[in-house]
């Protein structure tokens, strides 16, 4: 299975491409927006597509035309304004979903926020609420897309070394999880069709990733 990693140059994206390339079942195609970002992925023997997520649906669809799955890991980041939150976390996600449909790609895995339900928007701090709202509507669009989707809701992201063990489910207590382990969860989702049509939260835990994902 070849997977297009959207947001490949992000922290989770880089880990994900690495783990995909180490997998016997998967291969990665990294979507990045700058030519100077190519060498990192070329060193891992990953195919690279030059597309800015703020381009049109056709540009993204062209990158997705020869893949079997799309993984959306892109994010505007904590230091950008509401405008980038809308353009990347909402519009970028929706365009990628539509591009997958246009390219005939059925499998779609989405990194979301820990809780994107309506109440979470109301409860979020004022500065964080636009991000949660963007993720809420992006998730809604994916659920209604008829794609074979999986939505992953990670806890507070850290750069700690991954343990390979998590807790997965819904209505979990908010806690941390390493970006390495999030990337490993995404690989497990691609490798396990039982995750199709599922969404779940993940935090640090004591269950091996493959087992936690397989038991959902």
Taking residue 35's Cβ as centre, other Cβ atoms within 10 Å add up to 9
* Annotated catalytic residue 40: no
Separation between Cα atoms, residue 171 and residue 40, nearest integer Å? 37
- Taking a C-beta distance cutoff of 8 angstroms, is the pair 143, 116 a contact? no
In three-state secondary structure terms, 202 is strand
Q: Reduce the DSSP state of residue 63 to 3 states and report it.
A: helix
Spatial distance between the Cα atoms of 212 and 204, rounded to a whole number of angstroms: 11
Matching residue, tokens 């997998």: 23
Selected catalytic residue, list 19, 40, 131, 137:
131
**Surface-to-core class of residue 163, CB atoms within 10 Å of its CB (0-12 exposed, 13-18 middle, 19+ buried):** middle
DSSP letter at 35? G
- Tell me the C-alpha distance between 187 and 166, whole Å: 14
Q: Rounded to a whole number, what is the distance in angstroms from the first to the last CA of the chain?
A: 22
Q: State both tokens at 92.
A: 């970028």
The set of catalytic residues is 131
């Amino acid at each position: 299975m070849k997977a297009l990693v959207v947001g490949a140059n992000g922290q989770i994206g880089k880990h994900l491409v690495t783990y995909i390339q180490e997998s016997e079942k998967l291969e990665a195609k990294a979507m990045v927006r700058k030519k100077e970002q190519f060498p990192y992925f070329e060193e891992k023997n990953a195919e690279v597509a030059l597309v800015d997520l703020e381009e049109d649906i056709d540009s993204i669809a062209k990158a997705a035309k020869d893949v079997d799955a799309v993984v959306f890991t892109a994010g505007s980041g904590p230091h950008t304004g509401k405008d980038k939150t809308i353009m990347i976390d909402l519009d970028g996600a929706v365009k990628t979903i539509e591009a997958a449909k246009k390219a005939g790609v059925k499998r779609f895995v989405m990194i979301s926020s820990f809780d994107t339900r309506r109440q979470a928007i109301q409860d979020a701090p004022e500065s964080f609420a636009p991000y949660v709202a963007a993720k809420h509507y992006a998730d809604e669009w994916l659920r209604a897309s008829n794609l074979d989707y999986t939505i992953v809701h990670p806890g507070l992201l850290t750069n700690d070394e991954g343990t390979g063990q998590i807790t997965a489910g819904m209505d979990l207590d908010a806690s941390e999880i390493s970006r390495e382990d999030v990337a490993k969860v995404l690989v497990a989702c691609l490798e396990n069709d039982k995750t199709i049509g599922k969404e779940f939260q993940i935090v640090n835990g004591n269950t091996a990733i493959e087992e936690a994902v397989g038991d959902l």
